[in-house]
Structure 1
Amino acid sequence: MSVLDALQATLAEEHAALYYYGVLGARTSQSASPALYDAVTAAYRRHRARRDQLRLMVRDAGGEPVAAAVAYELDGPLVRAAQVQRTAARLEIAGAEVLLALVAQSSGDVREWALSEATWSAVWQLELGGSAQTWPGAPELD
């Protein structure tokens, strides 16, 4: 896999994350679950910035940024705060995995950025109620 391919895969993952976080935000009550609402909102903002940065990185690598899908399939109902929280934590774990694949394929500034973002996702999944892992984002190392 080339650096450009890894950037495109990471960008595709960010498109999906933004879609899911939009849905999660719409299913989270600011008054009933303010901490969860704030966490989902913060994650949405971080992923939006990440997506925008990835678009620039793809262009810098000579590619045309992959477009988002029209829609993404949700995994089950998201009607309770606990379901929203678990889904958000899973998004961060998946994001860390894709970012670590980019770390493995890149060097320099791209690698440094990807590692920083993977670390953020690994830590943020804890904020969202996930459990600590020995190798977050790299289950094959367990």
Structure 2
Amino acid sequence: MTVLDALQQTLAAEHAALYTYGVLGARTSQAATTELYDVLTAGYRRHRARRDRLRLLVVEAGGEPVAAAAAYGLDGRPVRPAQLQAAALELEATGVATMLALVARSTGTVREWAMAEATWSASWQLELGGEAQTWPGAPELG
């Protein structure tokens, strides 16, 4: 797999993450669950910036950025705050693994950026009520 392939796979995953964060945010009440709404909004913004950076990295690597799908499936139908929080937590766990796969297939500034993003997703899990892990994104090492 080339770095361009890894960037495209990571970009595709970010498209799905953005879609999912959008759905989760739309199902959250800013008035009733302010803290959850704020956490989901911050997550959405970070993933949007990540998606935008990945698009630039794909172009710099000589590729045409993969487009987002029209829709993505969500597991179940999260509507309660605890379900929304759990879905976002799962998104970030997947995000760590995805970014670490890019770390493994890249070098230089791309690798440094991907590692910083993996670290962000790992720490953001704590904001979403997750527990600290010894090896986030690599449970086989635990």
Interval of TM-score (by shorter of Structure 1 and Structure 2) = over 0.9
What is the match of residue 135 of structure 1? 135
Q: Which runs of structure 2 are paired with 1:11-50 in the superposition (5 Å)?
A: 11-50=11-50
Distance in 2 (CA, whole Å) between partners of 1:101 and 1:140 is: 14
Give secondary structure in 2 for the equivalent of 1:130. coil
Distance in 2 (CA, whole Å) between partners of 1:76 and 1:130 is: 20
Q: How many residues align?
A: 142
Distance in 1 (CA, whole Å) between partners of 2:133 and 2:9 is: 24
Percent sequence identity is 73
Distance in 1 (CA, whole Å) between partners of 2:140 and 2:71 is: 30
What is the match of residue 107 of structure 2? 107
Render the CA deviation track for 1:26-55: whole Å, top value 9, x for unaligned. 000111110100000000000000000000
What is the match of residue 90 of structure 2? 90
What is the match of residue 80 of structure 1? 80
What is the match of residue 61 of structure 2? 61
What is the match of residue 118 of structure 2? 118
Distance in 2 (CA, whole Å) between partners of 1:126 and 1:78 is: 20
Deviation at 1:141, TM superposition (A): 1.6
User: How high is the TM-score relative to the length of structure 1?
Assistant: 0.98
Matched to 2:45, the amino acid is R
Deviation at 1:133, TM superposition (A): 1.2
Deviation at 1:140, TM superposition (A): 2.2
Matched to 1:50, the amino acid is R
Matched to 2:91, the amino acid is L
Where structure 1 has 5 or more consecutive residues not aligned to the other structure, the ranges are none
Matched to 1:102, the amino acid is L
Deviation at 1:60, TM superposition (A): 0.4
Where structure 2 has 5 or more consecutive residues not aligned to the other structure, the ranges are none
Render the CA deviation track for 1:77-111: whole Å, top value 9, x for unaligned. 21100000000010001011010000001110000
Please give the root-mean-square deviation of Cα atoms over the aligned residues, in Å: 0.7
Matched to 1:42, the amino acid is A
